[in-house]
Amino acid sequence: MGHIAEEFLVASEDKAFDMSHRHIINYNIAKYDTAVDRGLSRLINLDNSKKKGHVIKWRVMENLDKFLPEFEANFQKRGGKVIWANDAEEANREILNIIQKAGAKTVVKSKSMVTEEIELNEFLEHNGIESLETDLGEYIVQLLGQRPYHIVTPAMHLSKEDIAKLFNEKFGTPLDFTPEQLTAKARELLRDKYVQADVGITGANFLLADTGSIAISENEGNARLSTSFPKIHIAVVGIEKIIPSIADLDLFWPMLSTHGTGQNLTVYNTILSGPRQGDETDGPEEMYVVLLDNGRTNLLAQKDQRQGLYCIRCGACLNACPVYKNIGGHTYETTYSGPIGSIITPHTRGMEEFKHLSYASSLCGKCSEVCPVKIDIHKMLLLNRRDSVKQHVVTKKEEWGWALWKTGMLNRKWMDFFSGKTKNFFLKTLFRKTWGKLREMPKVADKSFSKMWAEKNQSEM
């Protein structure tokens, strides 16, 4: 077992028994559940919308080589520049190059998981450039020196008291500040930064092939401020975010918002199609879109698991998952946590180090049930498990153990060879530290069913 897997087991056990963490998460997810139930009830035919989204995403992934150049050509027509980045290192290098050429020193960022994935903030700080998160949740976790806990709600693991304490330590605000007062303080601190920043960096929720645009959804307006004031706007986007047409947003925007937060529509939805045009008063002088691969084509090559790329990053599967709700987002040690992260990460960051995430599931299927684009998530987790065994990235002990188990289970004689007493002894001895550590082991009956059946028939003859 790799060290990441070992750390995961230790950290997840630790978090599962942290009662204050469990209380905060249950409280926040319960509020989310209520909002989402209300939001979904307004959709006339939810299943039909999910199927439609699934088919559109299927078409895109099967024709990615056509849709991406279409986006590039249309975006360039309006003066935008496209950068293709194979990995995190290349993306970071290209972004730094743009910033240094412009002689820029400060960057404002709106919420973007893909920039977390390439560790852009750390990279820019290392190169002497101030990079500031402007989404309130992201700003809070940045102040704490943490990574986002959740792909939609970065500070889901914190209570309002935790945040008041943080602001008190950093900015001297009173400990009894309300959420509204804390937000006002953050706004006051961030407003100056938008005006002073040289460069604005965002992600994008969707890339629109037919208009050559990026679409951004947000609730705070910080993405609009990050793209309007600075002279340069850089959008970093995973290649899987593309959809064929601007007309598809009438499906994807409401599906993203209802599954993400329960809203009919997110507060701010922006479509950006290149830098400021000659007759426009607002917008950046230069606009770049960095198209990031970073392991996505590895997943694209997996015919069975390719649908992991259909994800629109709504976070619904995280909120539904009983494992995520107990062990939290940081335990996964990967940018995309929860069920969807467990499908994607072994392919983008290596099966050897991250196969354990595909086992961190009860396979209850709730994730597949809530997915707005009908990704068969729990099935994908099983397929990842299959691949890890086929690629022999499991231990010899595990391989031998399951080989013996299979032999025994396929043969009634072998199953009945040991008495119930012996089976109980094996269970208690072999699985004492793994299964039996925190639960009572199941008790195997003294006699097997087939033995009892044989005796019953014998006695009746």
pLDDT one-digit tens code per residue, 56-102: 999 999 999 999 999 999 999 999 999 999 999 999 999 999 999 99
Split at pLDDT 50, 70, 90, the class of 447 is: confident
pTM here is: 0.93
Split at pLDDT 50, 70, 90, the class of 396 is: confident
Query: 436 pLDDT exceeds 80?
Result: no
Full 3-state SS string of the chain:
CCHHHHHHHHHHHHHHCCHHHHHHHHHHHHHHHHHHHHHHCCCCCHHHHHHHHHHHHHHHHHCHHHHHHHHHHHHHHCCCEEEEECCHHHHHHHHHHHHHHCCCCEEEECCCHHHHHCCHHHHHHHCCCEEEECCHHHHHHHHHCCCCCCCCCCCCCCCHHHHHHHHHHHHCCCCCCCHHHHHHHHHHHHHHHHHHCCEEEECCCEEECCCCEEEEEECCCHHHHHHHCCCEEEEEEEHHHEECCHHHHHHHHHHHHHHHCCCCCCCEEEEECCCCCCCCCCCCCEEEEEEECCCHHHHHCCCCCHHHHHCCCCCHHHHHCHHHHHHCCHHHCCCCCHHHHHHHHHHHCCHHHHHHHHHCCCCCCHHHHHCCCCCCHHHHHHHHHHHHHHCCCCCHHHHHHHHHHHHHHCCHHHHHHCCHHHHHHHHHHHCCCCCCCCCCCCCCCCCCHHHHHHHHHHHHC
Query: Nearest Cα to 271, choosing from 201, 199, 213, 219?
Result: 213
Separation in Å, CA 251 to CA 43, 61, 239, 272:
11, 18, 20, 19
pLDDT at 460: 67
pLDDT at 388: 93
Taking only the tens place, the pLDDT of each residue in 327-354 is 999 999 999 999 999 999 999 999 999 9
Split at pLDDT 50, 70, 90, the class of 441 is: confident
Query: 44 pLDDT exceeds 70?
Result: yes
Split at pLDDT 50, 70, 90, the class of 442 is: confident
Mean pLDDT of 118-139: 97
Mean pLDDT of 360-385: 97
- Mean pLDDT over the full length of the chain: 94
Least confident range of 36-45, 103-112, 123-132, 430-439: 430-439
Mean pLDDT of 439-456: 85
Query: Do residues 244 and 53 lie in contact, with contact meaning Cβ atoms separated by under 8 Å?
Result: no
pLDDT at 385: 95
Split at pLDDT 50, 70, 90, the class of 435 is: confident
pLDDT at 429: 83
pLDDT at 148: 97
Mean pLDDT of 372-385: 97
Taking only the tens place, the pLDDT of each residue in 221-280 is 999 999 999 999 999 999 999 999 999 999 999 999 999 999 999 999 999 999 999 899
Mean pLDDT of 188-212: 95
Q: Percentage of residues in the chain with pLDDT exceeding 90?
A: 82
pLDDT at 72: 98
Query: 461 pLDDT exceeds 60?
Result: no
pLDDT at 334: 96
Domains (range + CATH), the chain: 43-294 (3.40.50.10420), 396-460 (no CATH)
